[in-house]
Amino acid sequence: MRSSWGPGAADAHRDNVVATRRLLEACASTRPRFVLASSSSVYGDATRPCTEDDPVDPRSPYARSKAEAEQLVAAAGNTVILRYFSVYGPRQRPDMAFHRFIEAALDGTPAPLYGDGGQSRSFTYVGDVVDATIRAATTALPDGTIINVGNPESTTLRDALDRITTLTGTAPPTVAKDPAPGDVHRTWAGTARATALLGWTAGTGLDEGLRRQVTWHRQRRSGAPARPRSGAPARPRSGAPA
């Protein structure tokens, strides 16, 4: 999101809008189920759990590109739109917050902390996101259905840092940075639709998800094979074809 300002806006448009249009064109003749990975950023700032029928309020070029991609997908056939909320876990991209904070705790190199740490997010474990995505790809749904994929608990970044401190035994050193433009104070996932249509809930709590991610970082450093559990046990799929 931060990199989408200035020259990065063109990259966000290319990666999210142009690429989505090309994929839809490639699927036009066969019409397979098309699942779009959208983002909670389209909602803007949340004062309560966001539902899929809420108006969108994108605050950054990245968020606007995701909203535009959603419009393209909604006009096509056999499509589902998933709005992911702050995905984390093993193999997370190195530029993402939890990856940076865990590495900072393990090697003492400060990581950037944007704002005062009071911002809240619906941190969602990657294994749960994979589960929801598979269900969305295999469950009969009306064209253009939008579904939030997120943990219904919104947790402050400061609280997450405290949990990382507990798990690693060291407080991650940080360098204070100004809040990034368009960085909302809170994201908060309303997940009733995901439960109703997919039989899905986020089954991995933040403590357990962070424990798995810290384990992956330590194994990666030691050279040991990193085979984290992917997430919660599979649940019966609601309305999924055999």
* Domain-located, residue 216: yes
DSSP labels, 192-225:
HHHHHHH-------HHHHHHHHHHHHHHHHHT--
* Tens-digit pLDDT profile for residues 70-91: 999 999 999 999 999 999 999 9
* Domain-located, residue 234: no
43, 62, 84, 125: the active-site residue: 62
- pTM reported for the whole predicted model: 0.90
* Domain-located, residue 79: yes
Q: What is the pLDDT of residue 242?
A: 27
* Domain-located, residue 237: no
In a 10 Å sphere around its CB, with 0-12 CB exposed, 13-18 middle and 19+ buried, how is residue 183 labelled?
Answer: middle
Work out the average pLDDT over 139-154: 97
* Domain-located, residue 236: no
* Tens-digit pLDDT profile for residues 86-127: 999 999 999 999 999 999 999 999 999 999 999 999 999 999
Q: What is the pLDDT of residue 203?
A: 96
Confidence of residue 229 (pLDDT cuts 50, 70, 90): low
- For residue 206, pLDDT over 70 is answered with yes
- Locate the DSSP E strands across the chain: 34-39, 79-84, 87-88, 111-114, 120-121, 124-125, 145-149, 155-156, 174-177
Query: What percent of the chain shows pLDDT beyond 70?
Result: 90
Confidence of residue 235 (pLDDT cuts 50, 70, 90): very low
Q: Look over the chain and give the mean of its residue pLDDT values, rounded to a whole number.
A: 91
Q: What is the CB neighbour count within 10 angstroms for residue 47?
A: 8
- Is 114 designated active site? no
Q: What is the CATH number of the domain that holds 205?
A: 3.40.50.720
Work out the average pLDDT over 217-222: 94
Total structural domains within the chain: 1
Domain span at residue 188 reads: 2-222
Of 10-14, 15-19, 70-74, 223-227, the one with minimum mean pLDDT is 223-227
* Domain-located, residue 211: yes
Q: What is the pLDDT of residue 180?
A: 80
